[in-house]
Each structure stands twice: as C-alpha cells, then as structure tokens.
Amino acid sequence: MTENIFPDMFLLNKAIAVVTGGAGLIGKPVVIGLAQAGAKVYIADVDEKAGKELKKTLDKKKLSSEYIQLDITNINSIKLSIKAIIKREKKIDVWVNCAYPRTPDWSTKFEDIKYESWKKNVDMHLNGYFLCCQQIAKQMKKQKKGSIINFGSTYGIVGPTFSIYEGSNMTMPAAYAAIKGGIINFTRYLATYYAKDGIRVNAICPGGIYKNQSAVFVKKYAEKTPMGRMGSSEEIAGPVLFLASEASSYITGHILMVDGGWTVW
C-alpha cells in the first residue's frame, strides 16, 4: 500500500471546484477549505463585490480561485458560467450547491404567506438547485466522473422546534422545510440516476449556524443540542471536503448531518 495514502485521499490537487453562493456565510469557508486542499475554486455568486473580496483574500494566502458571477435562478447564467469554466479549465470536478436565494418576506408566519411568495421561493431555491444539477451533470457525464454536493438542512429531515424561537423575532420559514426536504430526496434520486456515469451526489445537512442571533435563541438552541452549542460556518467546510475528495469515493446518495447531534434526539 502506498505510504500516506489516507492523508492524500483528502487532497484536491489539480481539481476544479465550483461553489454556488461561494461568498456567503457558509460558502466562504467552504471555498477556503477546498482551496486549502489544493483545488482551484470558482466563487460562483451573484454578489460581485463579496466574491471579488474573497478572491483577494485567497490570493494573499496564495490559494487558487476565480470569481464568476452566477445566478442559480437563471438558466442562461448557469449555462454560460459552466461554458466559461470549461473553456478555461477543460473540466469541473466538484460542484457545491450552497446558494440560498429567498424573498424579502421569507420569515412571514405560515398563515400570512402569500402563494406567489411561496412559489417564488420554491422556484428560486429548489428549482435553482435542479437547474445547476442538470447542467453540471451533463458535463460530468462527459468526464465520466464528478462530485455534486447539495446543501440540505436538519429541517429537511425533522420538523422545526418552534419553542426555540419564542422571545425572539425569528421563526422557521415554511418554504424552507419544503425546499430542503425536496433537495434531500432529489439528491438521492440523482445519486442512483448517475451512479453508472461515475458521478457521486451527496448532501450536507447543517444544523443551526451561529451568526449573532439573539441571546435567547442561542441559549434555547444550545439546550436542545447534545453538543450544547450552535455550529460555526467553518465546521461545514470539512464535511464538504470529505464528500468532494477521493476519501468518499464509495459514497453516494448520503445525507451527512452536521448538526451537533440535533437530529439524534
């Protein structure tokens, strides 16, 4: 057996990776983690300013990245972005669907949700993931290899615990549960559909990620989690790296919970 085979399995040297929503709360550390593992990472985001700032940060660390403007709600944007990357790199090894589009009224109480808002959120988020998966799978099928990683959520697996939101101005949007549940089973569908083509499709399901939420919410959340705390966005990067690398070469259709044990109880 080759020496150091296990550490090497996690490396992504010469790999080309794309992270949609790559300049966001979770996308940013995912981009950095993949780049640190040796990949050239495309920061695919609608926010040009944030994307280019992240690229500058990576440049200073001598990590390989590019910014590309990509809107997952627009099929032409997806097609043109993939075409541009393929023209330059000849391949795409890893595609991470981390974008999180939503409407301004995202947190409306269920009984007050307007049907048009519901449809728009499903269309932007769930259907955006569909469009990305459909288009990148065409390229990966030509390559006979690739890893697609979708972002689900604990609330795509279990029902919300609404008591943790009491005393704060927060709630769990109804569309979120429907969208993330759909993404999870869509991931399983793609895994079986494309297994023969060498394409692996898996999903990451984060638990609550700390982002300066109200103290009362953070306390209640921590009390309901076996590990006693919320997660950090940086803690999502490692699981993504695992599913992107050869360390998970015999894994497809898996839903990886990264939730501090939230779904154990």
| Per-residue pLDDT band at 3 (split at 50, 70, 90) | low
167-218 per-position pLDDT tens digit: 999 999 999 999 999 999 999 999 999 999 999 999 999 999 999 999 999 9
Residue 221 annotated in active site: no
**223: amino acid identity, one letter:** E
Answer yes or no: is pLDDT of 57 > 50: yes
Give the whole-number percent of the chain exceeding pLDDT 70.
98
- Mean pLDDT in the chain? 96
Q: Residue 137's pLDDT is what?
A: 98
The residue ranges of every structural domain in the chain are 5-264
The CATH number given to 5-264 is: 3.40.50.720
pTM of the shown model: 0.96
Per-residue confidence (pLDDT) for residue 265, from 0 to 100: 87
Residues 85-135 pLDDT 10s = 999 999 999 999 999 999 999 999 999 999 999 999 999 999 999 999 999
Distance CA 39, CA 59 (A): 13
In this predicted structure, the answer to whether residue 1 has a pLDDT above a threshold of 70 is no
Q: What is the pLDDT of residues 141-176, one digit of tens each?
A: 999 999 999 999 999 999 999 999 999 999 999 999
Tally helices (H) and strands (E) across the chain.
8, 7
Q: Please tell me the predicted confidence (pLDDT) of residue 52.
A: 98
> Which of 176, 189, 194, 250 is labelled catalytic?
176
Positive or negative, the CA dihedral 56, 209, 187, 130 is: negative
HSE, side-chain direction, 13 A CA sphere, residue 184 = 19
Of the candidates 210, 134, 149, 213, the one whose C-alpha atom is nearest the C-alpha of residue 19 is 149
217: left (phi over 0), alpha (psi -120 to 50) or beta: alpha
Task: Tell me the C-alpha to C-alpha distance, in Å, between residue 231 and each of 18, 62, 168, 225.
Answer: 24, 28, 19, 10
